[in-house]
Amino acid sequence: MADRVAFELRDDVYRRPLETATERLGIGAGWKCADVGAGGGDVSVALGKIVGPTGRVFAIDIDPRRRDQVAEAASKETQVIALTQAAEELLLPEKVDLAFCRFLLLQVVDPKLVIERMASVVRTDGWVVIQEAITSAGRIGESPISALAGTMRHPDIGIKVPLMVHELGLEMTDCWAEAPVALGDTPEARYLEAMTDTLMIEEPIMLPPIVTTIARIRR
């Protein structure tokens, strides 16, 4: 199945953790945000809708092809600005209220450096929000979904982020895990099929939990 379809399914099945995080933080109109490792722009567009025309979302990705994808996805949200940049060298024209990343740290060489860079672009008393998976915790029935770790550098980075945040001297204000669980021919089963080539509809599945870590930036 095409990558794009897999990403669309993934965006759907992990929509709830994104909503939980934005609601708990109370993001509102006028916020300035950075979506680091923005990919196709799912998070950028969601943030753009919340912050509205008076806000701003910098959608940053190392892959220049993502700039056009984000521009297309965010065509109605003029406050979304797509930039090609490595997260390790993150540098923005202004400080932001929130730096967000989802499914990024599992790919990068040095996740702690990226968290540090994210914190560096946030204003005093602003926020860093990190949503990363614990891939090995996914289940088909009682068995781990071993096929998902694939080529990820850090498949279980979600459980390591709180310690990294602590070691960087950031104040962790909230942290929780959410996992989509489903039975039957559901978007979750179709996403798993896209990732593993196996459609599993007779047993319950739990996709890898995503850990949301929220840190407040005090200086």
Among 9, 108, 157, 214, binds ligand SAM (CB under 6 A): 108
Rule CB under 6 A: say whether 86 interacts with ligand SAM: yes
Rule CB under 6 A: say whether 58 interacts with ligand SAM: no
The set of long-range contacts for 77-84, using a CB threshold of 8 Å and a minimum separation of 24, is 77/44, 77/45, 77/48, 77/49, 78/53, 79/48, 79/51, 79/52, 79/53, 79/54, 79/55, 80/41, 80/44, 80/45, 80/47, 80/48, 81/56, 81/57, 82/38, 82/41, 82/44, 83/58, 83/59, 84/60
Among 32, 56, 66, 67, binds ligand SAM (CB under 6 A): 66
Rule CB under 6 A: say whether 67 interacts with ligand SAM: no
Rule CB under 6 A: say whether 113 interacts with ligand SAM: no
Provide the mask over 3-42, with x wherever binding to ligand SAM is found by CB under 6 A and - wherever it is not: ----------------------------------xxx--x
Binding site for ligand SAM (CB under 6 A): 37-39, 42-43, 61-63, 66, 86-88, 102-104, 107-108
